[in-house]
Amino acid sequence: MNTRPAIDDTAGPVSLSAAFNHDSSCFSVGLDTGFCVFNANPCELRVSRDFNAGIGIAEMLGRSNYVALVGGGRQPKFPQNKVIIWDDAKQKVVITLEFRTQVHRVRLSRTRIVVALQNSIHVYAFSSPPEKLSVFETADNLLGLCCLGSKILAFPGRSPGQVQLVEIASGNVSIIPAHGTPLRALELSPDGEILATASETGTLIRVFSTSNCARIAELRRGVDHATIFSLAISPSSNLLAVTSDKSTLHIFDIPHPLNPANKYSSTNTPSPAGSDDDGPSQKWGILGKIPLLPRVFSDVYSFATSHFEIGDDPQVAPGSSLQGLNAPIPGIPGGRPPKGLIGWASDDTILVIGAGREARWEKFVVVPTEDGRRACLRDGWRRYMGG
């Protein structure tokens, strides 16, 4: 029997989506009543706009006054097939892009607007009026997977598990056969030299060099199926963070194609004893070197893990205007408020945010331990919507 208390409709706005900006210094939140922007570290409200209607996608352009908005929720502010570029300094819409089907994600740079639909990626010049530059076909992409770097654009290929890499300057396209099952997550490093990918299986993270599409690492999150929530690469491009529905944050060393002599293969250490997720690292001792044993004994595991809070959004009261919140929500990538989104504040500070009624911000730090290893510790948290 469910004995959880029902939600009061007047408790405040519900966050439908959340997204970090390019350097994780801020994050934007789409609400069922508008949108808001927070400074990321410390977590402090910066901008709040009440439209009395829902925003399913809110994507910032750096730390500028431009935000890309797409309507979402039960009462969307804008049609879900339109991208609205909002100038918050002028408090008005400055660009509108309309499509035949629902928009699943928007990415912005100083020169580009990139829009992900279910089976295509549309690229525009960031100008008024916007100029359409190119369109690329993709496999089904309901999560709106798309990464926009300064030189590279990455998104799913035409076949499930593939990644297309597009050089922005030349338009050259490369195909990476990353996984045998559909993609669940992908991420470019800040310098654009590294691409990390995960599939729907969620056991392996693969790392590629964008310059030649070579696979430079394969990392094992665990042996059990998991839904990957987020991938993020540190500012130095030497660390990778991963979250999943196991409610665990994993930290890996990764090689860099321009600096192969890093700590990648020598400092992987066991996960903390008693972890509810995935145990040891490369250091299975001699077992990792015995031929014919299953590959899990020789795979590279995370050097540190920590628990993060997914949150248990409570039951909605019968007859409430919020009833059905647990059903897929229109206008949100994947139909659910995202959880476990990662932003690197620095090479030793990780931020994890989630949307929903229990909208949380958590801060983690990577610290050395007395035995010469590294640990990931939670250093603070709050419910950023003031609940």
387 residues of the chain, pLDDT tens digit each: 444 444 444 467 899 999 999 999 999 999 999 999 999 999 999 999 999 999 999 999 999 999 999 999 999 999 999 999 999 999 999 999 999 999 999 999 999 999 999 999 999 999 999 999 999 999 999 999 999 999 999 999 999 999 999 999 999 999 999 999 999 999 999 999 999 999 999 999 999 999 999 999 999 999 999 999 999 999 999 999 999 999 999 999 999 888 765 555 433 333 333 333 433 344 444 444 444 444 444 589 999 999 999 976 543 434 434 444 457 888 888 889 999 999 999 999 999 999 998 899 999 999 999 999 999 999 999 999 865
User: For residue 360, what pLDDT is reported?
Assistant: 96
| Two tokens, residue 377 | 């510790």
The reply to whether 215 falls in a domain is: yes
Domain membership of residue 9 (yes or no) is no
The residue range of the domain holding 94 is 15-261+295-313+326-383
- What pLDDT shows up at residue 194? 97
| Total number of domains constituting the chain | 1
As a whole number of angstroms, the distance between CA 268 and CA 305 comes to: 12
Closest to 31 measured CA to CA, from 83, 62, 81, 74: 74
Output the CA–CA distances (angstroms, integers) from residue 51 to 30, 60, 85, 134, 224, in the order listed. Answer: 11, 17, 15, 32, 43
Q: What is the CATH classification number for the domain harbouring 110?
A: 2.130.10.10
pLDDT at 266: 37
In a domain, 8, yes or no: no
Question: Would you say residue 277 lies in a domain?
Answer: no
Query: pLDDT at position 10, please?
Result: 47
Question: Tokens 């006054």 correspond to what residue?
Answer: 65
**Domain membership flag for residue 186:** yes
What is the model's pLDDT at position 387? 53
Q: Which two tokens stand for residue 191?
A: 């310098």
Q: Has residue 374 been placed in a domain? A: yes
104 inside domain: yes
Write the DSSP assignment of 83-141 as a string of letters: EEEEETTTTEEEEEEE-SS---EEEE-SSEEEEE-SSEEEEEESSSS-EEEEEEE-S--
Q: 272 in a domain, yes or no?
A: no
Q: In the prediction, which pLDDT does 11 show?
A: 60
- List Cα–Cα distances, 247 to 197, 238, 244, 358, 362, in angstroms: 19, 23, 6, 15, 13
CA dist., res. 254 & res. 217, Å (int) = 7
